[in-house]
Structure 1
Amino acid sequence: MSRQIDYRSSSQHRADDVAAVMLDEGYLRARLTQLGGPGAKVLEHEATDDGGRYTIRHGVDQAALPSVVSSLVSGNLVIQRTESLHRRSPGEWAGEVDVQIPGTPASAVGTLRLHDTATGSELVVRADVTVKVPFLGGKIEAVIADQVQQLLAAETAFTLEWLAGSHR
């Protein structure tokens, strides 16, 4: 069984502008510096005018992990995340996300949708978190899903500040 994440955020900026930032390597590096944790870095990055793909690594200090999660890892938690985003039409973007946590039975896969609205744009992230651990899997999935929601909210705030020119 898996736990579904359904995250939505709105911006006053057009989808094409938000996508350009999301695919900018300098932005990704700055975001990871602020939010990525120990060992965070951009592992791969490729972008064109019509889309791109990148792989990033996050780190979570072991001391910050809930006990149910820290029982799965020794040391800091490493999260490897690959995202793609491609223009379907002006103001309409779609993509995929794949999250792996090396050395654990936890992963997540999902979709991204970024589209124009009457007042700007909306980003929708839908993903399924799966932890293949008998008896505890559901509890761990709930913890991870909650942490992912919090990370997405922090990344959204960073992105909106970046779009406003606060981090450049």
Structure 2
Amino acid sequence: MKFRRELAYEAGPDEVFAMLADPAFREKVARAQGVVSVDVTITPTASGFTMVSDQVQDTAGLPAIARKITGDTTRAVVREEWSDATSGTIEITAPGKPTTASGTASLVPGSGGTTYVQELEVTVKVPLVGGKLEKVMADNIDGGLSAEHAVGTAWLRGER
């Protein structure tokens, strides 16, 4: 299933990029998303960075069909590789589970600031119900991005 989300920020691309590269921002986002625990690692590269967020997520709000696969909690590993301040790749995996989401991230400058765009392909390889579970996963990603946007908007206003 294809997934696309745009987040508008009233800041320039360099400010948004610096925010995304800050471990304190990533940890604050994880708390806002309600994760049980998170370990964030950010490694600078020549003109970008690699971010790995290893999370344990509560699955209490998921439909029963999804909880049969995930259990009471699930581990999600989010890996972003930004080649520069304009574009990168994203991969979300759940070790031991038949789910992945992968695609691209980009920062697009505009007259009012920057638009952060994520385009992902969400895949759940479970016979008969995979499509339903892909929708559940996409909805969870969307909810996580809503929390990230709220934190990011406040962060860029100086609320850290």
TM range, normalised to the smaller chain? over 0.9
Aligned residues: 160
Q: Within the alignment, does 1:64 sit opposite 2:57 as a pair?
A: no
Instruction: Output the amino acid matched with 2:117.
Output: V
Superposed counterparts of 1:48-87, under 5 Å: 50-87=47-84
Q: Within the alignment, does 1:129 sit opposite 2:127 as a pair?
A: no
Instruction: Output the amino acid matched with 1:129.
Output: V
Q: Which of 96, 101, 115 is equivalent to 1:103? A: 96
CA deviations on 1:106-140 (whole Å, 9 max, x unpaired) are 01101001021111111110000100111000000
Q: Secondary structure at the match of 1:134?
A: coil
Measured in 2, the distance between the counterparts of 1:164 and 1:124 equals 20
Is residue 102–residue 120 contact of structure 2 (8 Å, CA) maintained in 1? yes
Report percent identity of matched pairs: 28
Give the match for residue 8 of structure 2.
10
Instruction: Output the amino acid matched with 2:35.
Output: G
Is residue 36–residue 59 contact of structure 1 (8 Å, CA) maintained in 2? no
Is residue 92–residue 102 contact of structure 2 (8 Å, CA) maintained in 1? yes
Any stretches of 5+ residues in structure 2 without a counterpart? none
Tell me the TM-score normalized by structure 1.
0.88
Give the match for residue 145 of structure 2.
152
Q: Which 4+ stretches in 1 moved above 4 angstroms?
A: none
Cα RMSD (Å): 1.6
Tell me the TM-score normalized by structure 2.
0.92
